[in-house]
Amino acid sequence: MSHNSFGHLFRVTTFGESHGPAIGCVVDGCPPRIPLTETDIQHDLDRRRPGQSRYTTQRQEPDQVRILSGVFTDEKTGVQMTTGTPIGLLIENVDQRSKDYGEIRNKYRPGHADYTYDVKYGIRDYRGGGRSSARETAMRVAAGAVARKVVPGLVVRGALVQMGPHRIDRSRWDWDEIGRNPFFCPDAEAAAFFADYLDGIRKKGSSIGAVIEIVAEGVPPGLGAPIYGKLDADLAAALMSINAVKGVEIGAGFEAASLTGEENADEMRLGNDGKPLFLSNHAGGVVGGISTGQAVVARFAVKPTSSILQPRLSVDRFGAETDVVTKGRHDPCVGIRAVPVGEAMVACVIADHFLRHRGQVGETTPWPMGG
- The neighbour count for residue 290, using CB atoms within 10 Å, is 19
Q: Judged by CB, which is closer to a second copy: 178, or 242?
A: 242
How far apart are CB 154 and a second copy at their closest, in Å?
Answer: 16
Would the annotation count 135 as a binding residue?
no
Name the DSSP class of 237: H
**DSSP of 297-329, one letter per residue?**
EEEEEEPPPS--SS-EEEEBTTS-EEEE---S-
Cβ-contact 340, 60 below 8 angstroms: no
Residue 317 assigned as binding residue: no
Nearer to a second copy, 43 or 200 (CB): 200
Q: How far is the CB of 296 from a second copy (least distance, A)?
A: 12
Single-letter residue type at 172: R
192 annotated binding-site participant:
no
Q: Smallest distance, Å, CB 50 to a second copy?
A: 17
Output the smallest distance, CB 180 to a second copy, in A: 23
User: Can you tell me the distance from the alpha carbon of 286 to that of 1, in angstroms, rounded to the nearest whole number?
Assistant: 20
Q: Which residues pair with 286 in a beta bridge?
A: 291
Q: Are 147 and 44 in contact (CB under 8 A)?
A: no
- The amino acid present at 69, given as its one-letter code, is S
307: annotated binding-site residue?
A: yes
The verdict on whether residue 303 carries a ligand-binding annotation is yes
Residue among 58 and 360 whose Cβ is closer to a second copy: 360
Contact 314, 324 (CB under 8 A): yes
Whichever of 181 and 307 has its CB closer to a second copy, that residue is 307
Residue whose CB is less far from a second copy, 155 or 315 = 315
* Residue with smaller CB distance to a second copy, 122 or 176: 122
Q: Nearest approach, Cβ of 249 to a second copy (angstroms)?
A: 3
Rounded CA-CA distance 258/253 in Å is: 10
Instruction: Please state, in angstroms and rounded to a whole number, the distance separating the CA atoms of residues 279 and 288.
Output: 18
Residue 362, annotated ligand binder? no
304 is in an annotated binding site: yes
d(C-alpha 267, C-alpha 272), whole Å: 16
For the bound state, the minimum distance from the C-beta of residue 12 to a second copy, rounded and expressed in Å, comes to 8
Binding site as annotated, residues: 48, 54, 131-133, 243-244, 288, 303-307, 329
Binding site as annotated, residues for NADP(+): 48, 54
Binding site as annotated, residues for FMN: 131-133, 243-244, 288, 303-307, 329
